[in-house]
A = this chain, B = another copy of it.
Amino acid sequence: MANKRTVFFVSDQTGVTAETMGHSLLTQFDGLDLSPVTLPFISTVDKAAQAVMRINSAAREDGARPVVFSTLVDDEVRAVVMQAECLYLDFFEAFLGPMEQELGQSSSHALGRAHGMTDVAAYTARINATNFALANDDGSQTRDYERADVILVGVSRSGKTPTCVYMALQYGIYAANYPLVDDDLESRRLPAMLEPFRGKLFGLTIRPDRLQQIRQERRPDSRYSSIAQCNYEVRAAEQLLERYGIPFLDTTDTSIEEIASRVLERKGIGRRARP
């Protein structure tokens, strides 16, 4: 194991972009002992000076230069942070130059536009979509399938809810979900309320042993979490989906981001809101 190395995500806003960027890059390196620190809202020269102190102090403690991922827009603020004892990787600095040239205009160097409220319509779309996902979640009374962009179907704990919520928050997609329960599986028929919406259906499935693990945490040693029940439900659900020609995806080794992205790709649904 390498020595400890501190990683900073520095931003004049929330730090989400710097974190996304940094983690993506760091996954390309193995065996590092990293200690991540997010410094959000570094919007003034004073706050920048405080950030420098924290970075330099980590450099001394670790005996190694921290890696700083930065999304600082303001030139003065950036100039301060760049003085720190670190490998300084600035996202705006790297890309804004070529973009200005290509687009034939100067960038506004405006603070806090990333993830700001520049696009109120997209923001409202994401909030509305999130409320829709929660109102149309597993077992809820609301079944507003008319407005749904997609309806995820699958057995309990196959990943439907987190995927719906993620698609709503990230893309403003209206995603409902319907849990396939014993009655549905035994009848071997598509539930009647889903019939009019067959074009919107997408199935999620999961390996029975993983399902058993997840259910075991929730209701230990129940029929619900027995391997026999998990085997039965997964097999019956997959047969049902195949019989009706509903596309489906195994979520077992798949992140929420990837499940969401694959659902949108295979259903040909565009992103409604900007992330």
Contacts and interface: CB of A to CB of B under 8 A. Distances in A.
Interface of A: 2, 5, 13-17, 19-21, 23-25, 27-30, 32, 36, 38, 40-41, 65, 67, 71, 73, 87, 89, 91-92, 94-96, 98-99, 102-103, 105, 107-110, 113-118, 123, 126-127, 130-131, 134, 137, 159, 161-162, 165-166, 169-170, 253-258, 260-262, 265, 271, 274-275
A255 B117 contact: yes
A126 B28 CA distance: 22
A91 B21 contact: yes
Contacts of A127: 159, 162, 256
A130 B99 contact: no
Instruction: For the complex of A and B, list the 10 residue pairs with the smallest distance between their C-beta atoms, beginning with the closest.
Output: A27-B113, A14-B261, A24-B114, A28-B107, A115-B257, A87-B102, A17-B24, A14-B257, A20-B20, A130-B162
Contacts of A102: 65, 67, 87
B92 A38 contact: no
B67 A99 contact: yes
A188 B24 CA distance: 48
Contact of A27 (B105, B114, B261): B114
A271 B36 contact: yes
Contacts of A41: 261-262, 265
Contacts of A73: 28
Contact of A20 (B29, B94, B275): B275
A15 to B, nearest CB: 6
Contact of A115 (B17, B21, B94, B258): B258
Contact of A21 (B17, B89, B126, B169): B17
Residue of A14, A21, A109, A127 ringed by the most chain B CB atoms within 10 A = A14
19 contacts: A16-B261, A16-B275, A21-B21, A21-B95, A27-B113, A29-B99, A29-B105, A29-B107, A36-B274, A40-B261, A41-B261, A41-B262, A87-B102, A94-B95, A123-B256, A126-B162, A127-B256, A130-B165, A166-B169
B99 A87 contact: yes
